[in-house]
Amino acid sequence: MTSRIPLAKQGQPVSFQLYARGGAPPYTWQIYGLDGSGIQWTPSGLLWGTADAIGSYNLTVQVFDSNNNEAQTSLLLTVYDGGFLGAIDQSFFGLNLHDNGAGWPSVSTDQNPFSAVRLWDCGTMWLSIEHSQGNFDWSRLDSFVSDAQANGVKVLYEVGQTPAWASSDPNDSSCKYGLGACDAPADWSYFSGYMTQLVQRYSSQGSQANGVIHMYELWNEPSVAREWNPKQPNAMSNFVTMTQIASRIIRAYDPNAMILAPSGSVSWMKHYWRDGGPTDFDYVTTHEYDPTYAIPENMIGLHDLWMKVLSHFGIQSPIFNTEGSYGSARLPDIGQKAYAARYLLLNAGLRVASTIWYMWDNGASLWDSNLEELTNAGEAYRSAGNWLLGANITSAGCEDSSGNFVDISRCPRMDNHYHTTYLVNLARPGGYRAQAVWFVEIDSGNTNWQATSPYNVPDGFTQCQDLDGFPCLIANGAVTIGAAPILLENPGTGP
């Protein structure tokens, strides 16, 4: 049954179908609590209309099957200010899922504004689905995709991992996910058959009985040897052929689907494009981690490298950061909190189109499935997400070595002794202005999560809140900043 409703933007049309399972279809719905929202409902469970008033609406939802058996749930409808043209909306936020059982992110949109889920490391790869030629088991992928459909979330599917039976080297034990999984197929008809069945099954052009896959990322991290073996014969030319085949099939069977470039490193993708790899992707894919200092600010330098390479090849597709978090780094509570918030703010400041946090329910988790509550990182992600949602980024930057603020593209290169202040400036209609600001310090090669610094508050900002929503103290025109961002605001109409 539907457990969350996607965000609604003020003044924009809404059309969302509620879903139920079990009992004896067809179902009949009763929905209470929509008064004043501008949204109406039909007995078939369709929410429709134009979102009028900003706010949160607590809905009571009843569903009856054909035998008059009843189920009831509570849902939250959140209407947010769409802001100026180009403001950040829910398509900016995404999560990688590990499980769709108890771990499915059914929390309200107020707790997490995500609009996309990426399927990787969750048992939905090629080798997990086609156990022998033509022998498909779609059950797990069906479950993910149908749950996403029921909860108003788009699916980003990761194409990857060759089954051993189809592999050109079925005994290759160097592969991460199984024998031969990082090698090209022995026959391209194997891959073509799989992609054709996959795209036809989840196409927006079909019956949608199994749900829709909206985006395809063409292979995960092929620059990593365990993901795509560089020692296999014709490694790069085979990879180019594979992505060409996949792109052709996706365009043919679902022209509405978005195609994302392989998530290779900058240097690997340069070779890929030099060797004839397609450049007409809807998005260029990056993965943002920092194994050195475990801080997200290192993505700034990497982003600059990507922009130079894209310019060299004449590629104008927007960047989609489909993986990023603190990964396996063991961070203190304040580090987890600071990293999650700064990760979102920096992606927004760099004008990345969308970003996926890796992941929701495993590793660098936003959700504790045992306690059924947000983790420290999850709380910070929610707060920073609420700061950004509906806002325009007017500028982003940092303090240079001379103490002057420069554009984010000119931030100093990090080293073992580094400290500076970062900021992202936001705007909303009604004269509202805000500034997210934080302090980074690296001391003898180690990130100092406890470091603080005084910060002179710019004119016009008279209010301040931290990631927990509590006010912070502005005294004599200054405030203390640390690793976790704070939000300075003017007395405008506010979000």
What are the pLDDT digits (tens) for 253-279? Answer: 999 999 999 999 999 999 999 999 999
Tell me the pairing of strands 70-80 and 55-64. Answer: antiparallel
pTM passes above 0.85: yes
Q: Which residue spans within 70-141 are E strands per DSSP?
A: 70-80, 93-97, 116-119, 130-132, 135-136
Closest to 12 in 3D by CA, of 52, 45, 42, 47: 52
Task: Please tell me whether residue 399 adopts helix, strand or coil conformation.
Answer: strand
Gap between the Cα atoms of 67 and 31, Å rounded? 19
Q: Which pLDDT score, from 0 to 100, does residue 402 have?
A: 85
Closest to 395 in 3D by CA, of 377, 411, 379, 415: 411
Q: Which residue spans within 238-282 are E strands per DSSP?
A: 258-260
Q: Which pLDDT score, from 0 to 100, does residue 86 have?
A: 84
Q: Which pLDDT score, from 0 to 100, does residue 37 have?
A: 93
Q: Which pLDDT score, from 0 to 100, does residue 124 have?
A: 95
Q: Which two tokens stand for residue 13?
A: 């049309």
Q: Which pLDDT score, from 0 to 100, does residue 7 have?
A: 87
**Using an 8 Å Cβ cutoff, are 240 and 276 in contact?**
yes
Q: What percent of the chain has pLDDT over 70?
A: 97
CA 365 to chain centre: 13
Gap between the Cα atoms of 93 and 428, Å rounded? 19
Q: Which pLDDT score, from 0 to 100, does residue 107 have?
A: 55
Neighbours of 377 (CB within 10 A): 25
Computed over its alpha carbons, how large is the radius of gyration of the chain? 23
Closest to 356 in 3D by CA, of 263, 243, 226, 455: 263
Question: Angle, nearest 10°, between helix axes 266-274 and 235-253?
Answer: 80
The C-alpha angle with vertex 362 and arms to 191 and 282, in degrees rounded to 5, equals 45
Gap between the Cα atoms of 19 and 63, Å rounded? 9
Q: Which pLDDT score, from 0 to 100, does residue 108 have?
A: 54
Q: Which pLDDT score, from 0 to 100, does residue 495 have?
A: 45
Gap between the Cα atoms of 396 and 344, Å rounded? 13
Closest to 294 in 3D by CA, of 259, 245, 343, 359: 343
Amino acid making up residue 25:
P
Low-confidence ranges of the chain (pLDDT < 70): 100-112, 493-495
Question: Angle, nearest 10°, between helix axes 188-201 and 235-253?
Answer: 30
Q: pLDDT digit string (tens) for 66-113?
A: 999 999 999 989 888 877 878 999 899 999 988 766 455 655 555 567
Neighbours of 244 (CB within 10 A): 14
Q: Which pLDDT score, from 0 to 100, does residue 105 have?
A: 65
